[in-house]
Amino acid sequence: MTKPTQSEIDNTTQVELEELSEVVDLPVFPERLAPGTLLEGPNGTLQVDAFLDRKAAINLYAATFQDDRKVWLREAGNGAGAERLRHESAVLGPLKSPMFSPIVWRPLIFMPGMGV
């Protein structure tokens, strides 16, 4: 058996790497909402008070409803982030405890009248 040449090794490695590669969807980060932005939703009008954090394609804001209820607004930037927020809402929504702050989510694309 003969020893392979460097060129044969390089070509084999390239083919193996191409077979192992896959397309990766990068998270889509929505632009931050400006403080004072008003959003209409099924629970009333909500005003964004401040941007707090961004993690895993989800923006977190401090917000206030017109009746002075303070909430966290979490904004999803892609399908996986939105699905995660829907799941959290389904799990945490029924819990009525001071340990869990109210969470309001909305889709990435917001148009007046779409809701929160």
Q: Indicate the pTM of the whole model.
A: 0.60
In a domain, 2, yes or no: no
Asked, for residue 8, whether it belongs to a domain, the answer is no
| The length of the chain, given as a count of residues | 116
Consecutive H or E run containing 101: none
CATH number at residue 95: 3.30.200
63 part of a folded domain = yes
Please report whether residue 86 resides in a domain. Answer: yes
d(CA 93, CA 89): 5
Mean pLDDT (10-residue bins), the chain, 116 residues: 70 60 72 91 88 87 90 80 81 74 48 37
Whether residue 4 is contained in a domain is answered as no
Domain tally, the chain: 1
The predicted pLDDT at position 33 comes to 92
- Contact call for residues 115 and 73 (beta carbons, < 8 A): no
SS3 79: helix
Within-domain flag for 22? no
In which domain, by residue range, is 90 found?
A: 38-106
In-domain check, residue 19: no
